[in-house]
Amino acid sequence: MKYNLWFGIYEDGRVDKSSNLEESFLNAENEEPLPFSISEVGIEVFGGKTGYYASLRKVALAVAERLVERELRKEDRYVVALVKALEEVEEAINMLNEKLEDIRTVKDTEIAADFENKIEELKNLRKKIEREIEEIMTKIAPNLTEIAGAKVAAKLLERAGSMERFVKLPASKIQVIGAEKSLYKAFARMKRGKKAKIPKHGIIFLHPFIRTLPKSKRGKMARFLAAKIAIAAKIDYFRGEVDESLYESLRKRYEELRRK
Amino acid sequence: MKLEKVMRNVYLTDGMLVTKSRYGSHYGEKVFDGFREWIPWRSKLAAMILKGYTIDFKGEEKVLYLGAASGTTLSHLADIIDEGFIYAVEYAAKPFEKLLELVRERNNIIPLLFDASKPWKYSGIVEKVDFIYQDIAQKNQVDILERNTEFFLKKGGEILIMVKARSIDSTVEPEEVFDNVLKKIKSRFKVMKHGNLEPYHKDHLFVHAKLF
């Protein structure tokens, strides 16, 4: 009988020690309980009790850290769900506000006050969701969040569906996410040989660096911002370190465009 | 400071339960003069001990801990089993991140990010243990305990299980759930003691038993 142990394969009283302990650790699966003492075998293999447990702890920790990291990347799905929920809550607040106004113009009653309380509650919920989104975005994509702001970053992520898909998007696509309707309309016009206005920005228009520029310069800024967002997302996903130069270059470009 | 010894490395001082520890705070508990406060509202094991039930640990046991979560109870158990080893199993990544902080500062915890209901997955890692502690609020938690017992508990080894009535069956009275759990455990173990955890944890039962 062969048995899979975290430090190798055990067969007929002999151990074929694994060259990759993290891999054998994850494959240490056996249908039946081991008919021998794994620690006794291991202590012999590692030349002592101290060595055995120190190695076991080290490998277990390394594997756990890797798995946790991978697992926590799923947090992006949570953000996607939160963004969707947030949009619904926002819509509800707007709609209820309208109805409240309708009631108020006719008669100010107790019901109107109740309405107002409910709207207040929803606003608190909105704030809570926004804070949660910000917290998670900062954790899973610090560079992206720094560059785009939590709100824009989360909305872009929601449209992409996941970080994995987001990092595969080219900057030119990121630039117009959220403006698909006018983009495809423009494409259709071009096909027919007509003049068309291609949108300069979608969701990223919400970014203060674009919103606050004169119309003629927004296109340039949007292109630049989208490029930096694409880079930031890739750094977050693949490298996981904070790169401060990104925000700096973005601010510089903004100042430049504003002065011109 | 007056200290009254309760069990290995566990003391009572002014009605407060503490463990002897050379480590810092892990979950917001108070730390003073080499002791860490053990909060019964946060840890079911602390609640059990405060209610007067103790476990006779020697400190060099091998323990399998199922459902270690973020390591609140585990941190104190690691203070007690200071010369042994604890295999800590938890399936959720988020709390495990916190648990890993504990693993990094101590050297007697082996972290296992595995599903406790599938013990064969870690059968080539965990050795035969003296003690299984289980705190996983799941419907089939007794089955999970039995499966792990089969794989890992030594003959004569002990178990301590924390049962949450509501997660096993919320439609019947807790007493009924507890009766069923006890019956199930008695078929394989000799029950040494059991009781509730009021007022710290509502509708919870602990069972301390020994494998035949």
Structural domain count of chain A: 3
- In a shared domain, residues A111 and A187: no
Task: Give me the domain span that covers residue A41.
Answer: 2-45
A57 located within any domain: no
Over chain A, what is the mean pLDDT?
91
How many whole angstroms separate alpha carbon A44 and alpha carbon B51?
A: 43
- At residue A241, the pLDDT reads 65
pLDDT tens figures, A43-86:
999 999 999 999 999 999 999 999 888 777 678 888 999 999 99
- In a shared domain, residues A101 and A9: no
A237 located within any domain: yes
Residue of A nearest to B84 (CA): A53
Residue A183 belongs to a domain with what CATH number?
1.10.246.90
Evaluate if residue A243 carries a pLDDT over 80. Answer: no
Series of mean pLDDT values for 10-residue runs along chain B (212 residues): 93 95 93 95 95 96 94 96 96 82 96 94 97 91 96 97 87 90 95 95 94 90
Q: Do A64 and B124 touch (CB under 8 A)?
A: no
Residue of B nearest to A41 (CA): B127
Residue A36 belongs to a domain with what CATH number?
3.30.2150.10
Evaluate if residue A223 carries a pLDDT over 70. Answer: yes
Residue of B nearest to A69 (CA): B93
Q: Do A30 and B120 touch (CB under 8 A)?
A: yes
Which chain A residues are Cβ-neighbours of B94 within 8 angstroms?
A: 72
Lowest mean pLDDT among A12-21, A102-111, B116-125: A102-111
Are the C-beta atoms of B189 and B210 separated by less than 8 Å? yes
Distance from CA of B99 to the nearest CA of A (A): 10
Confidence bin at A240 (pLDDT 50/70/90): low
A112 located within any domain: yes
Percent of chain A surpassing pLDDT 70: 98
Which chain A residues are Cβ-neighbours of B128 within 8 angstroms?
A: 37, 39
Residue of A nearest to B95 (CA): A68
Distance of CA A245 to the CA centre of its chain: 21
Are the C-beta atoms of B45 and B77 separated by less than 8 Å? yes
A interface residues, B as partner, C-beta within 8 Å: 3-6, 25, 27-34, 37-39, 53-54, 56-57, 60-61, 63-65, 67-68, 71-72, 74
- In a shared domain, residues A148 and A134: no
Confidence bin at A140 (pLDDT 50/70/90): confident
- At residue A239, the pLDDT reads 67
A51 located within any domain: no
Are the C-beta atoms of B49 and B17 separated by less than 8 Å? yes
Q: Which of A139, A162, A188 is the last residue of a domain?
A: A139
A118 located within any domain: yes
- In a shared domain, residues A257 and A156: yes
- In a shared domain, residues A169 and A73: no
Q: Do B124 and A4 touch (CB under 8 A)?
A: yes
Pairing type for strands B4-7 and A14-17 reads: unpaired
Which chain B residues are Cβ-neighbours of A65 within 8 angstroms?
A: 100
How many whole angstroms separate alpha carbon B77 and alpha carbon B62?
A: 11
A22 located within any domain: yes
Residue of A nearest to B125 (CA): A6
Which chain B residues are Cβ-neighbours of A33 within 8 angstroms?
A: 123, 150-152
Residue A95 belongs to a domain with what CATH number?
1.10.287.660
pTM above 0.90, yes or no: no
Are the C-beta atoms of A74 and B124 separated by less than 8 Å? no
